[in-house]
Amino acid sequence: MSDTHAETVSYVRETMLPQQEPPASTVGPLGWAKTNLFSGWFNTVLSVLSGLFILWLAYRLLPWIISPTWQATSLNECREIIGALNKPHGGACWGVISERWKQLMFGFYPPEHYWRPVLSLILLLVALGPLLFRHLVPAKVIYFSMLYPFIAAWLLWGGTIWNPIVAILGFVIIGLSLKFLTSVLNPALALIIGVVLAVIWWVALAGTVAGGLSAVLPIGIEAIASRQFGGFMLSITIGVTAILCSLPIGILLALGRQSDLLLVKAMCVGFIEFIRGVPLITLLFVASVLLNIFLPPGTNFDIILRVIIMVTLFASAYMAEVVRGGLAALPKGQYEGADSLGLDYWQSQRLIIMPQALKISIPGIVSTFIGVFKDTTLVSIISMFDPIGLSNAIRADTAWNGVYWELFIFIGLVFFIFCFSMSRYSMYLERRLQTGHR
């Protein structure tokens, strides 16, 4: 059969043809454009329209941005400079940024002390090193991280150096009682005794001791009042503190919500749902007008501290729900495995459950962090001078009355840099902790 067939075919190629280049329209920039921009009439229309939009935006925006108004000291001066240039669509008035950027960063903090917030920010990065990039930073730095909150508070608010030292001593008391009492007592009991001793120290003795020590050895830096705080410094102070405190509280709340203890569970559910059901602004109203009513008569503590407390409570309720999601996503076998190894509740949480649950909830945790940082701007409503509050003040100034794009572009850009880098870090962390074999 094959023979007859062979006879009918006049020519059979005996060598392979060399491979041909793919058609020019499917490779290179042309091919890329064809598949990604012009596949089908609908995509072509979309591409052309959005291309035109981008070109129009660039045409209007670039001349506006490139505007030599950095030296101007008022909006009118800006208008004169731009008017002299004869631009068709006007130009930005960057003078407001060059004149007021320090205020947007530090609020009304005395300029000669600007080194203090800057130094605390740099030290913050050092202190966060062992937490964020564990494999790049020496492990010993963690001791510095523990001391950092006291150093930062002292640098920002100033005052005598004995205040932070006395505060640290309280934690030393807890540590010592844990170390010496655990051999004779139940660890939980030892912890409770330590905390009680520390509270007695902080409430009753610390103030007197610090006062006495500073009278004998007056070492310290100039004290700065809370109402002089402002700008991004205020946002970062509130945001970072609330972020760092909300994670542990949120974890405890999530554990409480998952717990078998009915009363504990009910309290946690009530707290979480209440906080999540009301807007942050109402909690800030509580901080500004109500917290002093709830506390013993005569207590009048710092407004920043009150705001931090409320923002922390707010953030921890959201954090609790994120962590609960992680706990729920963990297969039941992990809990049973931990039990079968004979680990008790806290051991299994610490060694088996939490490392996995927290890893699952990293994206949620970081987006809560970002949300908290963005929400710090709400303090402008209770008349604190965060960047938004300052922008209102600057726009009310006669020299800059009528400026808005430039200010909000600057503020938005700074927030964007912070929040976007947080979200990129979370992606990096997810990749680094990825243990699945996919």
Partner 1 sequence: MTTLTDPPSESFRLSMLIYDTRYRAITFQIIALICFLLFFGWLISNTAQNLADLGKEPSFGFLMEPAGYDINQRLIDYNNQDSHLRAAFVGLLNTLLVAFLGCVTATVVGVIVGVLRLSNNWLISRLMAVYVEMFRNVPVLMWIVLCMAILIESLPAPRAFRGDDAEASMKLFDTVAITNRGVYIPEPLFSRSLGDIPVGNLFNISIDLIAILIVLAIGFYVSHRIKLKADATQEATGVRPRTWYMRLGVIFVPLAALLVILGFHLGYPELSGFNFSGGTHLRNSLIALWLALSLYTAAFIAENVRAGILAISKGQTEAASALGLRPSITMRLVILPQALRVIIPPLISQYLNLTKNSSLAIAVGYMDITGTLMGITLNQTGRELETVLLGMLIYLAISLAISAVMNFYNSRVKLVER
- Concatenated DSSP letters of 204-247: IIIHHHHHHHHHHS--EE----GGG--HHHHHHHHHHHHHHHHH
Contact status, residue 386 vs residue 394, Cβ threshold 8 Å: no
**Considering beta carbons, is residue 421 or 434 the nearer one to partner 1?**
421
At 345 the three-state DSSP class reads helix
CB 279, min distance to partner 1, A: 4
**Considering beta carbons, is residue 208 or 383 the nearer one to partner 1?**
383
Is the sign of the CA dihedral 308, 312, 313, 318 positive or negative? Answer: positive
**Considering beta carbons, is residue 155 or 378 the nearer one to partner 1?**
378
CB 122, min distance to partner 1, A: 24
Contact status, residue 305 vs residue 239, Cβ threshold 8 Å: no
Is residue 337 near partner 1 by the rule CB under 8 A?
A: no
Residues 248, 252, 258: CA angle, nearest 5 degrees? 145
Is residue 378 near partner 1 by the rule CB under 8 A?
A: yes
- Helices and strands (DSSP H and E) totals, the chain: 21, 2
CB 260, min distance to partner 1, A: 7
DSSP annotation of 403 reads: -
Is residue 297 near partner 1 by the rule CB under 8 A?
A: yes
User: Hunting for tokens 């917290």 — which residue is that?
Assistant: 291
The one-letter code for the residue type at 386 is: D
Is residue 228 near partner 1 by the rule CB under 8 A?
A: no
CA distances to 233, 235, 363, 419 from 372, rounded to whole Å, are 15, 10, 14, 10
CA distances to 7, 128, 158, 400 from 120, rounded to whole Å, are 92, 12, 12, 31
The only residue of 158, 358, 374, 393 in contact with partner 1, by rule CB under 8 A: 374
Is residue 295 near partner 1 by the rule CB under 8 A?
A: yes
The only residue of 119, 142, 193, 267 in contact with partner 1, by rule CB under 8 A: 267
For 43, the enclosing helix (H) or strand (E) is helix 40-65
**Considering beta carbons, is residue 37 or 118 the nearer one to partner 1?**
37
The only residue of 22, 68, 212, 279 in contact with partner 1, by rule CB under 8 A: 279
Is residue 262 near partner 1 by the rule CB under 8 A?
A: yes
User: Hunting for tokens 């430039």 — which residue is that?
Assistant: 406
The only residue of 26, 71, 98, 186 in contact with partner 1, by rule CB under 8 A: 186
The one-letter code for the residue type at 158 is: G
Distance CA 386, CA 368 (A): 20
Q: Which stretch binds partner 1 (CB under 8 A): 17-25, 129-137, 144-152, 259-267?
A: 259-267
> Which residues, including other chains, have CB under 8 Å from residue 327's CB and lie 6 or more apart?
254, 255, 258, 353, 357
Binding mask 31-60 for partner 1 (x = CB under 8 A): ----xxx-x---x--xx--xx-xx------
Chain residues 406-425 in contact with partner 1, contact rule CB under 8 A: 408, 411-412, 415-416, 419-420, 423
Q: Could you tell me how many residues of this chain bind partner 1 (CB under 8 A)?
A: 57
**Considering beta carbons, is residue 158 or 325 the nearer one to partner 1?**
325
Is residue 391 near partner 1 by the rule CB under 8 A?
A: yes
Is residue 252 near partner 1 by the rule CB under 8 A?
A: no
Chain residues 83-122 in contact with partner 1, contact rule CB under 8 A: none
CB 362, min distance to partner 1, A: 15
**Considering beta carbons, is residue 72 or 155 the nearer one to partner 1?**
72
Distance CA 15, CA 43 (A): 43
Is residue 62 near partner 1 by the rule CB under 8 A?
A: no
Distance CA 359, CA 436 (A): 12
Provide Rg for the chain, Cα atoms.
31
Bin 342: left if φ > 0, else alpha if -120 < ψ < 50, else beta. Answer: left
Q: Which stretch binds partner 1 (CB under 8 A): 69-77, 120-128, 142-150, 269-277?
A: 269-277
Report the interface residues with partner 1, using CB under 8 A: 35-37, 39, 43, 46-47, 50-51, 53-54, 186, 260-264, 267, 274, 276-282, 285-286, 289-290, 292-297, 370, 374-375, 377-378, 380-381, 388, 391-392, 395, 402, 404, 408, 411-412, 415-416, 419-420, 423
